[in-house]
Each structure stands twice: as structure tokens, then as C-alpha cells.
Structure 1
Amino acid sequence: MGLVRLKALIIKELLAILRDPRSRVILVVPPILQLLVFSFAATLEVKNVDILMLNRDNGAWSQELIRRVEGSPTFRSVRLTQDPAELRMAIDRQDVIAAVELSPSFSRDIEARRPADLGIILDGRKSNASQIVAGYLNEIIAGLAAETGLGKAGGGRAIDVVVRNWFNSNLTFQWFMVPNLVAAIALLIGLIVTALSIAREREVGTFDQLMVSPLRTHEILWGKLLPPILIGTFHITVYTLAALLVFGVPLRGSLLMLYGSAIFYLLAVAGIGLFISALSTTQQQAILGAFLFLVPAMLLSGFATPIENMPPWLQPITLINPLRYFLVIVKGVFLRDLPFDAVLANTWPMAVIAAVSLALASWLFRRRLE
């Protein structure tokens, strides 16, 4: 009899889940979307990256090295320059992830069977990806060195490679991870708190009381919006202090610009959370909706793997992800003195996302009242 009762309860629970159209969608759509995102976005391969080559030699061996680097399928584009200032600017602005610097006597040293000097400059803000790129470049350089006279004779290293990591010279993992967590934790807390707000009111039965109160619709929305922003600001402050005082992460930029951009970031996160909450009728649906957004947002932000590694059809989707932009600002403020124009370039997309998401949440909220 116990098995019969257990069987009846299992059937009842399955029917309760499958009868609800929203539950059926949640059971089918998110796993398929996450399969696609995990398969293409969460890759540890580094490809489709841009590098720069500062060639001060223009001899035969330097040209051969450039041809080999250009022929590698790993690199999307190889920019050539003879201006050291362009190299500094390209890495500073994250236009390239690595740069190769060839000495003026590179080809002459190889012909004279002397070790030739070559430098690899990496963007330390992307420590994992840049180290993989350095490995690819070292393989190409080692292949070239093996074909030189000194390399064939086995008389020593034909090319001396010096690797430098800018903005994170010691490749300290916390310098890369802790600024990322400043943005990620604010996303997690802000999204969950906001997504549960309206759904919780409906579930506990206080939503109707809220509607008959003297508060207007926009006042209710702002009342739901501001607490998560305050909580998110508190968490950003706590993690910033921890980064500075506990983990020793340098702060090279402006805190004023960090908090100014954080307001628009938290508005965008809260707007998305309010839209999910207005769409949900129960807290369970709100939590599932929040995590349905949260997991792809983390993977499509550049948090773990560079966006340029993703397939071309997937990269435009990252443009609607506020975490993508705030990560650039946080790492830029901590690890370099991010200029105002770079902060502004990553802040206005978050302002657009906030405006659109809040407008949709307000429209859906009013529609549910009718």
C-alpha cells in the first residue's frame, strides 16, 4: 500500500508540473539554451584574438616570423607597426591581447649565429587567456628558431624570448578574480532580490493590498527598485574594501567613476529583475527566471573566457548583458587608470539596457493590473 500511495503522489506532482504551460517551458527551454551557451561560450580555447607586432628589423627572418604568425589559425588579425606608442595604446585599450616586439638586429643576430632578442608583451588583465596566447607564440617562435643556423647546430638558444605582463606583472590570480567578483556578486544579489519582490507580494497575498494603497504605480516600482540598488552598492563597497585591504589589489583609477557607472549597472540589473518579477506569479518562477538569466550572463560577459573566443553568431548576444560592460570598468579602475572616455563608452550601453528593461517592467506591471 505504501508503494501505491508513493506512486500516486509522484504522478500527482508530475501532473502539477506538466499542466502548467510556464513550467513546461522552464523544463524544456532553459536546458537547451544552457547547452548551447556552455558548448560555445564556456571554452578554454583561445582563438579569434588580435595581436600586434612591433617590427624594428624588417629583415628576412623577421618577415618570416610575421608570415608564420599571420598564417596561424589562432589569430584573427595581426597588426603591424613600427611605433612603440601604438603598441602601448593597443594593449592599454584592449585592442590586442598580446604584442610581439622584434629588436632592430633580429635578422642580423640570427645570420651571425647570435641569440636574437624578442619580446612578448601580454595583457595581464586577461591572465589566463594571455598565457595561452603566449604559449601559441612560443611554439611558432621555437619552430622558427629550429630552422636557424644556431638552432640546427644545437649551439644554444637561437632566439631569446622575454615575456612581460602589463597591469599584472606577477600574474597574481586575485588581481584578476576579485575585481570580477565585485561585479558578479552585485549582479547575483541585485537580480535575486529584485526578481522576488513582486512575485513574493503575489504569493503571500499582499499584492492586492499594495494596489489599493495611495501609492501610484511608478512609486511602487521605484519602491521596489531602490532597495536592491542600495544593497548592491553596499556589496560593491564591501568587496572593494576587501580587494584593497585583504587581497592587496591596486586601485589605480577613480572611485568616483566606479560608483558613477555602478549606478547605471545596478539600474540595469534591477530593471531586468523587475521584469522577471512582473512576469512571474510565484517565487519559484521568479528564482528560476533569475537563474535562467544569471548563468548565460556570467558565461557571456568575459568573466571566465574572452568574448572574442565565442562564435561570431554568439557575440552580438553579449551586447545586451550589463555585466560585460561593468567588468571592463571594474578591472580598468583597479588595474589601470581607466580614462573617462573608456568609462563613458561602457556606461551608456548599461544606461540603455536599464531604460529598456525598466520600461518593459513598468508596461508589464501596468498590464497585470488591468
Structure 2
Amino acid sequence: MQDAKEALGMLKMSSQLLPNHDLITRTLARREAVHSSQIEGTRTQLPELFEYEVTGGEGLPADAGITQRYVQALEFGLASYRQQGSRAALDERLVKQLHAELMRDAVEVYRPGEYRLMQVWIGQGRRIEDATFVPPPPEYLAECMSAFVRDLLQYTPVEEEQGELSIVAQLALAHAQFETIHPFVDGNGRVGRLLLPLMLAAEGYPPLYISGFLLRNRRDYYDTLSATQLRGDWAPWCTFLAEAVTQACRSAIAIAQDMTALEQRWQRQLEVLGLRRDAAALKLPRLLLAQPVVTVRQVEQELGISFPTANKALDVLVRCGILSEPAQRRHRVYHARELLDRLSQD
């Protein structure tokens, strides 16, 4: 737990020193969306998600839309918290809204934004008798969720207590408890993981995304979580979650530093070409930090320039090797391949 707490402190300090922190955070949020969705079985890769956002999904797998809804739910949650500015924003209404955003195109049986009305169970069998774990019946969900929000999402130390829970312990308890309650028919894992960066943001930390670690260690993720539900064995889960936080912090810092260095190198590559100081091409490296997949139309809109000017600027970056066109489609799509490759690394 102590290593995780120190890692969070380093992440907080590092984020304050980054010149393009908001742009980098935007990109890391999409990386998180891909990883969290892949835990549930989707196959969309990060470049496909970025392509989906700039083209509307033409020629891309349907999974890309599911992953993009995760991005929308995450952005909605962070915006909701920032509007209120305290942990009071993390209430039942927000939990339901996250689920509604995540599942808004789902079939009616999933009841987007509403607690389940049926009994569900966890396991491979089709009968409840073969279940490995059975969450609370629907009539108990309101009571369970009310306690969950009060005691964990909106946790406030009590003066009489011997000591307060660290934020890492709060994350471990909250995620395990939410998955145990299993309030929705589907989407519980993703909503549970969405709550973690919101809890951290409410404590003054940058949003931290741990799904990459959970995906790479999926078996341990399920086993240690299951141990809390079936045997009340919390130690392995808390240790696992603390390691996830530690590794995610180190990864985020390293990726952010590499992204900053890459943007600076791209800028130097363009400057030696002798372009005019107001050339549109010189503005593209910073844009690519947040959007490493772009189209001409998108650059036109983002930079407020004409379509021909945007097209010429992109051609400059293609000639420099900064951008490439991976495939010919109806929409010309440009990839910052070096950045995408770095984001795909563990």
C-alpha cells in the first residue's frame, strides 16, 4: 500500500510539470477505454478507436463503438465531478448515469441506467445452482448501493476512528464491493473500473487508469476479487490492487514523458524545413498528442484553417515520416504511427 501511495504522489507531481498534461490525459483515457473493454472481450485496438472517433466508424468493427461509449462515460463522469468539485458528486445518480452512457445502445433487457430487476449469477453454467457467486437479489440493491455510496464513494474519515483509510485501500474496497453488489444486468465491470479514476480525481490526483495492468493479469484479477466474495479473504486483492496502482502510475509517467519528448522531436524536424512561423504544419505535433489519428477535415476544424491548407500541412508531416496513411478508405486517415506504437506498449 505504501508503494502505491508514493507512486500516486509521484504521478501528481509529474503531471504538474507536464506542458501538455490535458492533451496527454485525453489520449491516456482512450488507452484505458480500450483496455477496460478488452477485459470484457472486445477486440478493438487503440488505433481503431481513434479512427472511429474521426470517421464515424466506417470499415471498423462494431466493438469500436462499444469502446467509444466507454470514453464518453468516462468524460461524462469527470465533467460531472469537476462541476461539483467534491466527493459528493460521486452519488447513486452518477453511477446510474455512467451505466446509461456506457450502455445507451444496448438492448432493452440491459436497462441502461437502471438497477436490475432480476437475479443474476456469476459462473459458466446456465443454472444458478452451478454459479460460483450469486450477488444480492434485486430487492436488496437499493439498500446495498446506498451503503456503498455513503461508506466508500463518499468516504469521510470519522474522528473517533483509530485511523482513516488510505485512498488505495478505498479503491480496493470500493471496486470489490461494487462488483459484489453487481447492481446492473450487464456492464458492472466497466462501471466499477470507471469509478476508480473518479475517486482519485475527487482526492486531487490526476485520473489514473489501471485497466492495462488488470488486462495483463486478468486471471489474478478475477481470482483475488473472487476470494473476497467467496471467502472474505481481502489481503490478496488489496495487495494486487495496490500493485496495479503502483505499476499504472509508473507507466503513466513514462508514457507522458515519452509523448512530450516525441512532440518536441517532431517540432524540431519541422523547424529545420524553414517553414513560416505561422505555418499550419508547426501546429500539428501538439494536436497529435491528443489525437494521433486525424483526417484533413478534422485538422481543418481543429486549427480553423481551410481544407487545402490542412491537406498541405498533413502532406508535410507525411514527407517527414511523422504521419502515414495505413489504408485507402473513403476518408483519408493519417496515423502518427510512432506515438500509437508507444501507447500500445505495456
Range of TM-score over shorter length: under 0.3
Greater strand fraction, Structure 1 or Structure 2: 1
Query: Rg: which structure is higher?
Result: 1
User: Comparing both chains, which one has the higher relative contact order based on Cα–Cα distances under 8 Å and sequence gaps of 6 or more?
Assistant: 2
**TM-score under structure 2 length normalisation:** 0.27
**TM-score under structure 1 length normalisation:** 0.25
